[in-house]
Chain A
Amino acid sequence: MEWLEPTREAFQLLFSGDAGLWQIIWTSLWCSAAAIMLIAPPSIGLGFLISKVAFPGRRALVVLIQALLSFPTVVVGLVVYMLLSRHGPLGFLKLLFTPQAMIIGYMVIALPVLVVFVLSAVQGADPRVYETARSLGAGRHRAAITTLFEVRFGVMAAVFNGFGRVVSEVGCSIMVGGNIGGLTRNIPTAIALETSKGEFAQGIALGFVLIAVAIGVNVALAWLQGRGGLE
């Protein structure tokens, strides 16, 4: 029962309000939430446009975005690192090893998730939705918003899945955030670090938090879907 003692310590850490631990949790949550809030509107718009508007290269774009889904996050981290490093094209922004750099990386990681989910939701929507909206006097933008509202559960699933993907990723966070304690250390990087040092208690505590976040996100999604269905 070697794991019992670290688990007891983990709960002690969580419920004693350990400042270092809660700082890590806060960094994870706010960076992930900020990235999703920033990337969701353009991703949803892009997903809608790709599904509704025919243009040359559309198929290739869909294949590219789907391929991005399976890109290792560490590769995304590498690309963002090169862009933000001192000699990179965005080096003048001096963002490397800051939470902002992590947010940029998360946005890149979340974009294909959001686009593919929204694309799929809109393609599955009844074509009469858009036509009905247009025929009732809605302009193109309003009809697009109406269509997205009709497939809102798919759009919400996109947002929640995007959040789930970035809140749990390690590679990009370490590459562009640097795992700096009190600044860019988040739940996944802290788990990796503490476990490598043999400090299992904090790793287990953060693991519990990550699982709680995953469950919480899914409970929130299920609750919203239940309410939205007007059952």
Chain B
Amino acid sequence: MSASLFMVEGLAKRFGDRVLFDGARLSLESGSGYVLTGANGTGKTTLLRIIAGLEPAETGQLIFRSQSSPVADYPEIWRQEIVYVHQQPYLFHTTIEMNLEYGLARHGVPHTARQVRVHEALTWAGLGDRREVPPHKLSGGEQQRAALARAKVLDPTLLLLDEPTANLDGDARRQVLELVTALCIENHTVVVASHDPEIIRLAILNRLHVSDRRIEAGD
């Protein structure tokens, strides 16, 4: 059994009168992959955003690598290790290469090392020939792959993917699915919120299900 990498305890979150979570708990083990399922509107995206420090919540305690913090006081240092990818990722209006370099520069990676890592990540995502292209010239599938490469290049301890195959079909969906599978195999701790049956069926992913304001583990 791996050690707990990230835990959520006593999470309460509401939007106006609508209660999403009430005393919810979650434990993510290091190096494991998870698929987060649940009906639309149950709070899958909100949960990922809370874990990433992008969404406030009423109460709750977050524990990352044994460091505990109230959900309202998300530690800045955690952002260096936890990366969230939107369902429809936003790529900065520069080039794909510069998009991948952005996070590395924020992590203090020297320029030469950045170039090497960006090249590797673009090759991994099958975008080696698209490095100088502005994002709006990429297809939806390429944009999603670029966003996955931008997250992977940071080698995050915890990677949160929100519906990575939504709005994609055919080859684009299959390629993104392969990258998501590869990320899960590469010993990252990954949480994938998804409705995609193929992702849900992946044997390497543990199941998490959101319902009745709680997060349940298992099938």
Contact = CB atoms under 8 A, between A and B. Distances in A.
B22 to A, nearest CB: 25
Given A128-B86, A135-B83, A137-B80, A230 B95 contact: yes
A142 interface: yes
Interface of A is mostly: helix
A4 interface: no
Contact of B52 (A135, A139, A230): A135
Interface string A131-147: 11111111100100010
Nearest to B88: A128
Interface string A220-231: 000000001110
A146 B89 CA distance: 16
Contacts of A129: 90, 92
Interface stretch (B31-39, B64-72, B99-107, B199-207): B99-107
A132 B79 CA distance: 11
Contact of B90 (A128, A137, A149, A229): A128
Contacts of B54: 131, 134-135
B106 to A, nearest CB: 4
Contacts of B134: 230
Nearest to B81: A137
Contacts of A133: 102
A194 interface: no
A199 interface: no
Contacts of B83: 135-136
Contacts of A146: 92, 102
Contacts of B86: 128, 131-132
Given A131-B54, A132-B86, A137 B92 contact: no
Contacts of A150: 92-93
Interface residues of A, number: 19
Interface of A: 126, 128-129, 131-139, 142, 146, 149-150, 228-230
Contacts of B107: 137
Interface string B38-58: 000000000000001110000
B53 A134 contact: yes
Interface string B153-179: 010000000000000000000000000
Contact of A134 (B79, B88, B93, B95): B79
Contact of B106 (A128, A131, A136, A230): A136
Nearest to B102: A136
B6 interface: no
B84 interface: yes
B114 interface: no
Closest 8 CB pairs between A and B?
Answer: A136-B103, A128-B90, A137-B106, A230-B134, A135-B84, A132-B90, A138-B106, A131-B54
A151 B79 CA distance: 24
Nearest to A146: B92
Kindly name the residue among A129, A134, A136, A137 whose own CB sees the greatest number of chain B CB atoms within 10 A: A136
A146 B103 CA distance: 12
Interface string B104-137: 0011000000000000000000000000001000
A209 to B, nearest CB: 35
Given A142-B106, A230-B95, A230-B134, A136 B154 contact: yes
Nearest to B79: A137
Contacts of B90: 126, 128-129, 131-132
B150 interface: yes
Contacts of A131: 54, 84, 86, 90
Nearest to A128: B90
Contacts of A136: 83, 102-103, 106, 150, 154
A131 B88 CA distance: 12
